[in-house]
Amino acid sequence: MGTLNCDNCGGFSKCTNACYMHLGKALVDFITGIDVVETRIGEFSSTKMGGKLDLIVSGHQLYNDGESGWILTDISTTIDSSDKFKSAYEMNVFQIATKYLERTEKTPEEKDEILNKIRQINKNKLFIVPFKPNTMCIIEYNDGHTVVNRVDAQIHSIRWSNNKENHKFDITVLFEVENMPSKIQKHNISTYLDKFSLAQIDMQTRTPKINTKIISIDNNGIIKPIIFKQDNIQIAVDGSYVYQINSQGISIIGVWGTGDKLYMNNSIKLKAIEKLKDNETFIKCHRKYIAPYMLYEPNVIEV
Ligand SMILES: [Zn+2]
C-alpha cells in the first residue's frame, strides 16, 4: 500500500503517492496549525504545604479569562501517556516528522519546536484546544427538569479530567447561559454538532446537503480524518490532502492550497467525491483540527 521510499519526492506537483514525505507534510501542517495549552499533568504536589508528595496533577481547566487551573488527585492516579497517533510505514509520528523536516527549509529552531510539540502532546504536557473560551455557541440546554434545544451560550471553560477506566482524558466543554435557571451547562467534546455547535457555523449545519456526521471530534481534541466510502473505493480527507484508496493503492488526488481552496483532480467522477464537494466549505471550517490520514483512526462515512 502506497510507496515508502520517496527520497526524490518533489512535492505534490511531482508525486501523488501517499509517501512518507506527504504524510510528514500533512502531519507538520496539523501540528503547526493547532492551538494548544501548556499543562502540569504528571507533576506532584502535596495536601499540606511542605508535606509529603501525595497528590498528582491529573487534570486541567482553561477558563474564559485565559487562566488555567489544575485538578489534583491522589498520587496513585494512573495517567495514560501513550502516543496519540498511529504509526505508518513502520515509523511513529516523531520519526515521520523528523524525516520530512530534514528535507524542508525550516530553521533548526523551527524544526525543534515542531518535534517538541509532538513530544509534549503525546506526554499530555500540551493539550489541544479546538474550542476557545468565550466563543459563542448554540447548545442543548438540560437542567434535569427542562430540555431546550438551541439555546445561545458562551464557552465558559474547557476541562480535561482523567477517566478512571481508560486513564485517558475526557474533555468537557462548560457553557454559560443567560435567562435560564441553570447558568452553567456541560457537554462532552465528542457531542459536538449533536449537543452543541459554534454559532459561526450554525447556518451551514442546517443546510440540507451538509452531513454533520462527517466531523467527529474525540477526547484528544482532534477531528478524525474523514473517509467517504463507496463500495471498494474510499476517498479520504485531512487538513492537507484528499486521497483515493482503491485496489491499486493510495494516491493523492487533491490538495488544500492557497486561500483555503481545495484543488482536485477533476478527471475522477465518483459519488464519494460529490459528497466531499457538497461538504467542502463545512470541512474547510474544521480542517485545522483534522488529524493526518493514516496517522489517526478515521471516521468512515458510507455514501
Ligand atoms: Zn513522494
Confidence band, pLDDT 50/70/90 cuts, at residue 8? confident
CA geometry: angle 14, 244, 100, nearest 5 deg: 45
Residue 100 lies in a domain: yes
Cα 61 to ligand 1 centroid, rounded to whole Å: 41
- Mean pLDDT for the chain overall: 95
Q: Residue 101: what pLDDT?
A: 96
For residue 116, the CA-to-ligand 1 centroid distance in Å is 25
Instruction: Name the band, by pLDDT with cuts 50, 70 and 90, for residue 64.
Output: very high
Q: Assign 3-class secondary structure to 159-199.
A: EEEECCCCCCEEEEEEEECCCCCCCEEEEEHHHECCCEEEH
Whether 142 maps to a domain, the answer reads no
| DSSP character at residue 224 | P
What pLDDT sits at residue 2? 45
Residue 255 Cα to ligand 1 midpoint, Å, equals: 14
Instruction: For residue 123, report the phi and psi dihedrals to the nearest 5 degrees.
Output: -90, 10
226-230 vs 299-302, strand pairing mode: parallel
Within a domain: 301: no
Task: Find the 203 Cα to ligand 1 centroid distance in Å.
Answer: 39
- pLDDT value of position 23: 96
Give kind and range of the element (H or E) at residue 299: strand 299-302
Distance between Cα 243 and ligand 1 center (Å): 13
DSSP tally for the chain: helices H, then strands E: 6, 16
Decide if pLDDT at 1 tops 50. Answer: no
Domain count of the chain? Answer: 1
- Cα 238 to middle of ligand 1, angstroms: 17
Distance 296 CA to ligand 1 centre (A): 20
The confidence score (pLDDT) of residue 128 equals 98
Ligand 1 midpoint to CA 17 (Å): 5
Residues 257-287 have pLDDT tens digits of: 888 899 998 888 999 999 999 999 999 999 9
175: confidence class by pLDDT, cuts 50, 70, 90:
very high
* Residue 187, C-alpha cell as written in the block: 457537554
Q: What is the pLDDT of residue 12?
A: 81
The alpha carbon of 89 and the centre of ligand 1 are apart by a number of angstroms equal to 13
| Ligand 1 center from residue 265 Cα (angstroms) | 17
Query: Is 247 inside a domain boundary?
Result: no
| pLDDT score of 4 | 62
Range of the domain at 108: 20-36+84-128
pLDDT digits (tens, 9 = 90+) for 184-207: 999 999 999 999 999 999 999 999
Given this model, what pLDDT does residue 124 score? Answer: 98
CA-derived radius of gyration, the chain: 21
Residue 242: inside a domain? no
**Residue 103 domain flag:** yes
Three cell numbers, residue 112? 525543534
**Strand ranges inside 41-99, DSSP E:** 44-45, 55-63, 68-74
Q: How far is the CA of 103 from the centre of ligand 1 (A)?
A: 12
Single-letter code of the amino acid located at 59: G
For the segment 44-69, the average pLDDT, to the nearest whole number, is: 94
For residue 28, is it within any domain?
yes
> Using CA atoms, how far apart are residues 280 and 264, in angstroms rounded to an integer?
11
Rounded CA gap, 183 and 154, in Å?
11
Q: Tell me which residue of 191, 184, 83 sits closest to 141, measured CA to CA.
A: 184
pLDDT of amino acid 9:
85
pLDDT at 3 over 80: no
* 32 CA to centre of ligand 1 in angstroms: 21
Q: Report the separation in Å between the CA atom of 122 and the middle of ligand 1, taken as the mean of its atom positions.
A: 27
Q: 9: CA distance to ligand 1 center in Å?
A: 4
User: What is the CA(268)–ligand 1 centre distance, in A?
Assistant: 21
Q: Write out the H or E segment, with its range, that includes residue 214.
A: none
Structure confidence by residue, pLDDT tens digits, 105-128: 999 999 999 999 999 999 999 999
Q: What's the CA gap between 47 and 103, in Å, rounded? A: 50
Residue labelled with grid coordinates 523536516: 101
CB 221 within 8 A of CB 30: no
Cα distance between residue 297 and residue 85, in whole Å: 8
Mean pLDDT across 128-150? 97
**Assigned domain for 119 exists:** yes
